[in-house]
Amino acid sequence: MQALSLQANRRMLFACRINILRFHRPSSARRLAPDSDVLTSPHRMAYFGMKRYKIGHETTYSFSGLVQLYPHTLRLRPREGHELRIESSRLDISPPATLRWHRDVEGNSVSIASFIDKVKRLRIYSEVLIQKYDLAPLDFLVADYAVDYPFHYLDEDRAVLAPYLNDACGADNVGLSDWINKLWRHEERIQTISLLLRLNHRIFQTIAYRKREEEGVQSAERTLYLGSGSCRDSANLFMASARRLGFAARFVSGYIYVNGMSMQAGSTHAWAEVFIPGAGWKGFDPTRGTIVGAEHIAVAVARLPESIPPIAGDFFGVPGSSMEVNVRVTDIT
């Protein structure tokens, strides 16, 4: 008998089987306002209104024999805020579990499930009904001092943002440095939002989407070397590049709804956020080449991608297990 780890959904976390949509970057950056030309593009969304989504996320583990389950950490409840409201939620777990809820250091909603009985099967089903209000993701203003790049965060902001500014790749990462140098020349005059859109679009153009079953996240340099990766790999590349450029950036895991697509599976997703003074944390989805909008449903954010699998836990018993994940996101507006 031995203790084994279930990094639940770590390899299934972002099986983003999605339709790829082209994003047309504006020819010149500007402080964006409701009458901005950017919002009159074919991708324009309504300024007002609300979308309602139903999210069903089922994870089932089958074990080779009876096992004792250790406490499992669940990150399945979307992040609530002015742009997202939860109408109702339910969490069904078999065998029965005792749940303890808290918010982690990032403000993510976390549940710890504790078990008593030995089992051969574990099923966790989360169902959430939400309202999304960010139907005009380009409708924001940038603080005057941050309109043009480069800029410096205010001291009081920098103290809080320090962990998200840390370049985990290291200054000696030649591959990432070359990538950045081709993206932006030091003498180039550019506005902040235009540079971020360029980065987002460049990854979309040059990194081919590849569904990966392997656990973990590729390093930024490996993704550049391979020229391909999953949505979590592209998000990690965006985050690493943004930090190298001096931006505070973080990793986001969640769900995505794509109109007209069967969402039987593959609707978990990953993207990155950058803190832009005046606008706050703005999401960028390099897998699709778009700014994050109403179709993106954030569940957890973190400084490092490996910190936020939807389900994580251990078990003690006979080695050997299999996992099946089914996710469905439905527009019920």
- And the tokens for 62? 């089958």
Give the mean pLDDT of 69-90.
Answer: 96
Report the pLDDT value the prediction gives residue 169, as an integer from 0 to 100: 62
**For residue 175, what pLDDT band results from cuts at 50, 70 and 90?**
confident
CA–CA separation, 21 vs 188, rounded Å? 29
Structural domains of the chain in order of their starting residue, each with its CATH number: 21-49+140-307 (3.10.620.30), 50-132+311-331 (2.60.40.2250)
pLDDT above 90 covers what percent of the chain? 71
Give me the pLDDT at residue 2, please.
Answer: 47
Nearest-angstrom CA–CA distance, 300 and 109:
8
Does residue 9 have a pLDDT over 50? Answer: no
Name the pTM for this structure.
0.83
State the pLDDT confidence band at 199, using cuts at 50, 70 and 90: very high
In this prediction, residue 35 carries a pLDDT of: 31
Predicted pLDDT at 29: 38
Provide the H-helix boundaries in the chain.
Answer: 155-165, 174-183, 192-206, 220-226, 231-244
- When mean pLDDT is compared across 51-65, 94-108, 165-179, the lowest value belongs to 165-179
- pLDDT at residue number 255: 97
Least confident of 11-25, 117-131, 232-246, 271-285: 11-25
Cβ–Cβ < 8 Å for 197, 26: yes
Q: What is the pLDDT of residue 182?
A: 93
**pLDDT at residue 77, rounded to an integer:** 98
Average pLDDT over residues 285-290: 96
Q: What is the pLDDT of residue 320?
A: 85
| φ/ψ (deg, to 5) at 112 | -105, 120
**Confidence band, pLDDT 50/70/90 cuts, at residue 33:** very low
Report the SS3 class of residue 307. helix
Query: Alpha-carbon distance 270 to 305, whole Å?
Result: 9
- Report the DSSP beta bridge partners of residue 113: 72, 99
Could you read off the pLDDT of 226-257 as tens digits, one per residue?
999 999 999 999 999 999 999 999 999 999 99
pLDDT tier for residue 104 given thresholds of 50, 70 and 90: very high
- The per-residue pLDDT for 4 is 54
> Average pLDDT of 95-104?
97
User: pLDDT for 214-224, tens place per residue?
Assistant: 778 999 999 99
Amino acid at 40: T
Using 50, 70 and 90 to split pLDDT, how confident is the model at 7? Answer: low
Look at strands 208-209 and 228-229 and give their pairing: parallel
Cis peptide before 95 (omega within 30 of 0): yes
The pLDDT score that the predictor gives to residue 8 is 46
Burial of residue 264, with CB atoms counted within 10 A of its CB: 0-12 exposed, 13-18 middle, 19 or more buried: exposed
- Burial class from Cβ neighbours inside 10 Å (0-12, 13-18, 19+) for residue 88 reads exposed
Q: pLDDT by residue (tens digit) across 315-331?
A: 998 888 899 999 999 99
Residue 6 is predicted with a pLDDT of: 56
- Position 139 scores a pLDDT of 87
Q: What pLDDT was estimated at residue 31?
A: 42
Of 43-52, 170-179, 323-332, where does mean pLDDT reach its minimum?
A: 43-52
